Amino acid sequence: MVPLPPIHDAGNGQTIEVTLADYIDSVSALQIKNSNTHREIRIREIVIFDPSSRGDYIPGNAIETASNAIIELEGVKVTRESNKIDDLIPGVTLNLHRTSDKPVTLEVVPDRESIKNAIIGFVGYYDELFSELNILTGRSEDIIEEITYLSDEEKNKARDRLGALQGDITLMQLKSRLQTMVMNPYGTSAGRELSLLDQIGISTNSTGFGSGSVDRSRLRGYLQIDEKKLDQAIESMLPAVKELFGRDSDSDLVIDSGVAYMLDSYIRPYVETGGLVASRLDTLDGRIARTTTRIETEQQKLERKEREYRQQFAVMEASLNTLEQSSKQIDNFNKNSGSN
């Protein structure tokens, strides 16, 4: 006997679904028994179907039937259409691989390797920017040779840009401010124990870590990383490391301090649409256009002057030819007169 779930009075009827496999192995006939003497039940459109089938197609050797993912998180049953669930725990994505008949303990830990890679990427982008500033404002080709990641073709292109903006006050100020920002202290929950990039292994140390020789490239403002020191800081003082780059100092849920925040705030006006770089480019483009116009005007003047001189020279040359012919005629006349 297969019990039916509770049936409620409904004017339009209701749909009831019963999993027969939970009670019997096969079906040859249906007999419905109403134990309520004061209720009349009308049944229509009885359908027996295989839930593993999809339309008119039934898998010949089904391994597993597709169904929703069901998990119980802290006593709450959760159903999702995908095995990838990212809306239950903030910042955490659950990937369900198989069923489990026992509770699963989740331990959420920081991805320290990704954090380290992000910091290394930050230093790489900083050095890339600083190398370009050094190329544009410097004169020595040593600047290019010290940049080890450039290919030969890139080095040749860099030589074409070398010193192109030498003496530009805007770029010189930018270099100075960047260097100051990466050396400044920033407040963290660790206090003086961690307030400088140097304390997590990032510095412009010109002698290098554990080396007695001077690395001239470090004198140009590039950053370098002591990975051992960085690993130790990430392992033991991760919250303070985070705050060193970006911190909410007044608890208003907005980052307002830290080296990354300060660099972003300072550089943004340079690179945003209509910013300092765009305005400077527009100014230079205008100056180039005006200079090109002046050159074209002067070129036209030179061409007109050249035509005038050519015309004058042609007249003078014709006059000389006429004079020469007259001189020859006089000489011939004198010779003929003398012979008589």
Phi, psi dihedrals of residue 225, rounded to the nearest 5°: -125, 130
Q: Return the pLDDT at 338.
A: 66
Length of the chain: 340
Mean pLDDT of 226-253: 96
**pLDDT score, position 35:** 77
Give the pLDDT confidence of 24-63 residue by residue, as tens digits. Answer: 777 777 777 777 777 777 788 888 777 666 666 666 666 6
206 pLDDT more than 50: no
Q: Is the C-alpha dihedral spanning 171, 174, 178, 184 positive or negative?
A: positive
How far does CA 171 lie from the centroid of its chain? Answer: 23
Q: What share of the chain in percent tops pLDDT 90?
A: 51
Task: Pull the structure tokens for residue 245.
Answer: 């780059």
Cα–Cα distance measured from residue 221 to residue 182, given in angstroms and rounded to the nearest whole number = 10
Helices marked H in 25-71:
none
pLDDT digits (tens, 9 = 90+) for 94-132: 888 888 888 888 887 888 999 999 999 999 999 999 999
pLDDT at 5: 75
Q: Stretch 232-238: mean pLDDT, rounded? A: 97
Largest Cα–Cα separation, the chain:
171
Tell me the sheet residues that pair with 84: 95
Residue 101 gets which letter from DSSP? S
**Token reading at 216:** 């001239």
Name which residue leads in pLDDT, 232 or 274.
Answer: 232
Q: Please report the pLDDT score of residue 62 as a whole number.
A: 63
Contacts 24+ apart (CB under 8 A), 5-11: 7/41
Contact 275, 268 (CB under 8 A): yes
Tokens matching residue 159: 């030589």
Q: Containing H/E element for 247?
A: none
Contact by Cβ (8 Å): 185, 198:
no
Place of tokens 């030819």: 321
Q: What is the model's pLDDT at position 75? A: 84
Range 238-255 average pLDDT = 95
pTM exceeding the 0.75 threshold for the entire prediction: no
CB 8 within 8 A of CB 14: yes
Q: What's the pLDDT score for residue 207?
A: 44
- Of 100, 78, 81, nearest to 89 (Cα)? 78
214 pLDDT band, cuts 50/70/90, is: very low
pLDDT grade, residue 92 (50/70/90)?
Answer: confident
pLDDT for 159 equals: 95
Q: Is pLDDT above 80 for 136? A: yes
Q: What phi and psi values does residue 314 have, to the nearest 5 degrees?
A: -65, -40
Three state DSSP letters for 45-94: CCCCCCCCCECCECCCCCCCCCCCEEEEECCEEEEECCCEECCCCCCCCE
In whole numbers, what is the pLDDT of the chain averaged over residues? Answer: 86
Sign of the torsion formed by the C-alpha atoms of 335, 338, 339 and 340: positive
For the record, the structure tokens of 324 come out as 């020469």
Statement: residue 217 has pLDDT above 90: no
> Given pLDDT bands bounded at 50, 70 and 90, which one contains residue 198?
very high
Predicted pLDDT at 248: 96
Instruction: Determine contact, residues 163/138, Cβ cutoff 8 Å.
Output: yes
What confidence tier does 20 reach under pLDDT thresholds 50, 70, 90?
confident
CB 16 within 8 A of CB 4: yes
CB-based contact 178:126 (threshold 8 Å) = yes
- Distance between CA atoms of residues 321 and 236, nearest Å: 100
Taking CA atoms, 126 is separated from 40, 122, 182, 241, in Å, by 81, 6, 10, 18
What pLDDT is attached to residue 40? Answer: 78
* CA nearest neighbour of 93 among 113, 69, 75: 69
What confidence score (pLDDT) does residue 242 get?
A: 97
254 and 265 Cβ atoms separated by less than 8 Å: no
Do 333 and 327 touch, CB atoms closer than 8 A?
no
Least confident of 15-19, 111-115, 117-121, 310-314: 15-19
Mean pLDDT of 203-207: 66
Q: Which range has the worst mean pLDDT, 20-34, 65-79, 275-289?
A: 20-34
